A and B are shown apart, each in its own frame.
Chain A
Amino acid sequence: MRMDVDVLVIGGGPVGCTVARFAALGGTHTLIVEKRSEIGSPVRCGEGIAPDIFDEIGITKDSRWVRNTVDGARFISPAGHMWVIEGEAVSEEVGLVIDRDKFDQVMALHALDEGAKLMLRTHIEELIVDGGKVTGARGKYMGQDIEIAAKVVIAADGYESVLAGQVGIDTRLESKDVETCLQYTLGGVVNQDRYCDFYFGNSVVPGGYIWIFPKSASEVNVGLGLLLSKVEKKGAVKEYLDGFIKDHPVLSKGSAISMVAGGVSVSMPIKTTVADGFIVVGDAARMVDPLSGGGLANGMLAAKIAGEVAAKAVKSGNVSAETLAEYDTSWRKRLEEKMYRNYLTKELLLKQSDETVDKVIETLGNTKMENVGTFEIIQAIAEKHPDVVKEIEKFFI
């Protein structure tokens, strides 16, 4: 089978669908291809999201995917010290708990509403490259060979992306920049409060954290990310998570209604995200926030830019890397500085002993902050434990 489109988006996740929405909105003939047989499933996500990016990417809160509004977040140290963030300050990091499968489907519907097309069960195996320029992609649709010609190809193929490498874009990761994750949706748990909990400490989760996000009064999303460079034996992630749940007074009463795994990058983004006729975006471009491990916000913000730039390039008849570089420059301007600061913070956190994590969480728990921003947090820590933040302080002030 052969097809011909203006913009081909590989990957039907929320990033791919957002690219497609804006590319279609820009008047191009846009096709999304997705290898799975259903958008949004299986969910690979903690399902917590901050609504503050919604305006910028033109979506509104929607009862189809909002499950719960949280009252706050709690950070729990190995010794059990707790730092609670509540009220106004919350929306910056975690504000809503969502049904991520429904969310993804609605993002796809938005793209279709703007005129984009979607093909499921379409597995792209390679880019078509002609004299260094990407001119399409080929793979299988329902087991049959398919070749799709496109003016711009957009790789939104997630963590397991292999397409960018085919045009010499380096997406390789070091093991210190990879989190291996496992997550359950647990039912049958009595969880009356609406806080997102984060457990830290090298003895609890080496180089990562455990999250518990409330989906309803009896259902939570609980998961764990472990830094690959700290994993010493296979299957460690499942052992840590199962051990944590077994010892937890509330979670141990529940059972999983779903179990999902995945890899997450906690690196700096890749050096270049464009080539002739080609754009990389989202997890595939390693845009995940290196501190939180969240990929949705950064990916969708960049997706909007990718869709707009791709449409403009198609309209102008010039899809060279130089033209598409507007995307590269714009998303970096929007996201890269924060990613860099959060990367440094991640690296700093990794070096801390459990005793230091205890001290810091205790201090933060006892500090009154008007606004909880990175700057205020660093300042509060610097007052009591200047040594801890000494090396990164200058990047925040």
Chain B
Amino acid sequence: MKVDMELCLRCGACVGTCNDTAIRLYESGIVFHMDICVRCGSCMLVCPVGAISEEVGV
């Protein structure tokens, strides 16, 4: 998954919605732990501004 940081409002909706805690908010920014991610797609849909998309080729 990747975040378009120009759209991202840092609201944390994706973090709270990820049931596998694969998305974590660190001081440095949002990090997707792809080893945990099950590709359910919830984060893409919950993002109010559509900043999250699936990284092509991953």
Contact = CB atoms under 8 A, between A and B. Distances in A.
Interface in B1-56: 9, 11-17, 19, 21, 24-27, 42, 44-50, 52-53
Contact of B48 (A162, A172, A173, A181): A181
B50 A260 contact: no
Contact of A180 (B26, B27, B47, B53): B47
Majority secondary structure of chain B interface residues (helix, strand, loop or mixed) = mixed
Nearest to A125: B26
A165 interface: yes
A74 interface: no
A162 B50 CA distance: 22
A161 B47 CA distance: 16
A85 B47 CA distance: 33
A228 interface: yes
A259 B9 CA distance: 8
Contact of B46 (A42, A125, A263): A263
B50 to A, nearest CB: 2
Interface stretch (A231-239, A297-305, A317-325, A332-340): A231-239
Contacts of B46: 178, 180, 228, 231, 263
A14 B50 CA distance: 28
A238 B12 contact: no
A35 interface: yes
Given A44-B11, A228-B42, A235-B47, A162 B21 contact: yes
Contacts of B53: 234
B47 A262 contact: no
Residue of A233, A236, A261 with most partner-chain B CB within 10 A: A261
Nearest to A238: B49
A260 B11 contact: yes
A180 B19 contact: no
A261 B48 contact: yes
Given A125-B26, A140-B27, A235-B47, A160 B9 contact: no
B12 A234 contact: no
A159 B19 contact: no
27 contacts: A44-B11, A121-B27, A123-B27, A158-B12, A159-B13, A160-B15, A160-B25, A165-B21, A173-B17, A175-B17, A175-B45, A180-B13, A180-B45, A182-B49, A228-B42, A228-B46, A231-B45, A232-B45, A234-B45, A236-B45, A236-B50, A260-B11, A261-B11, A261-B48, A263-B11, A263-B12, A263-B13
Shortest Cβ-Cβ A-B pairs, 8 listed: A235-B50, A263-B13, A160-B12, A261-B48, A160-B15, A234-B50, A261-B11, A160-B16
Given A158-B16, A173-B17, A180-B46, 10 more contacts: A123-B26, A140-B27, A143-B27, A162-B24, A165-B21, A172-B19, A175-B17, A238-B49, A263-B46, A265-B16
Interface of A: 35, 42, 44, 121, 123, 125, 140, 143, 158-162, 165, 172-173, 175, 178, 180-182, 228, 231-238, 259-263, 265
